[in-house]
Amino acid sequence: MRVLIVEDEQALADALARGLRREGMAVDVAYDGDEGSEKVGITRYDVVVLDRDLPGMSGDDLCAEIVGGVTRVIMLTASGALRDKIEGLALGADDYLPKPFDFPELVARVRALGRRATPAVPPVLRAADVVLDPSKRTVTRHGAPLELTRKEFGVLEVLLSASGAVVSSEELLERVWDENADPFTTTVRVTVMTLRKKLGDPGIIDTVVGSGYRVPVHAPATV
């Protein structure tokens, strides 16, 4: 899941980014509304965590710029008044969370919004005997748990979410890594290679030459 945090309190923004990355999400950060608008114009995010009170472009204006597409918005504000919550939702925000808040609640809300992105994906992803649970951060094959790195988990999650469609290396880089990733490295290919080894035989990840990777809907199961 690709997430953008737009928050002018730099310490808070960085802390939220570190926490969401530990949850396996690819996270970018913007410290004002103008920077947030620029990033939204370049990258398709699943969820934007948006502070309402921002320097530069206001959170309200940025929210209005985002809504209408597949990106979901959770708005943060220092005010927990009902009137402010109603105003935030009326702007098109999908969710609203007053400060201060508990980080686990933010994680749960971000995941819930991510599942509402288009196309919608089920809470638990499966292919043959491989089962991935995004909320629990677990993967099993034939009932046996697999120890995956965050990036391996993210790649498998994107491939399973594609429901058999081909996913390009460029899209995997965009969905699983953040803006600091070097697009000219072999990091995606190497991650897919190590993921295949951990998944074992028979292999479920196909390489589509010149296009990318896919997990077929009817992937082979272990015997």
Give the pLDDT of residue 134: 84
Give the pLDDT of residue 81: 60
Burial (CB < 10 A; 0-12, 13-18, 19+), residue 217, is: exposed
Give the pLDDT of residue 42: 87
Give the pLDDT of residue 223: 67
Give the pLDDT of residue 68: 73
Give the pLDDT of residue 146: 95
What are the E-state strand segments in 88-182? 95-98, 125-127, 130-133, 138-141, 144-145
Distance CA 15, CA 149 (A): 21
Give CA angle at 6 (101, 23), nearest 5°: 60
Per-residue pLDDT of the chain (223 residues; tens, 9 = 90+): 899 999 999 999 999 999 999 888 999 999 999 999 999 998 889 999 999 889 999 998 999 888 877 889 999 887 656 666 677 577 788 898 888 899 999 999 998 888 776 555 567 899 989 999 988 889 999 999 999 999 999 999 999 988 899 999 988 988 898 877 777 678 999 999 999 999 999 999 999 998 999 999 888 877 6
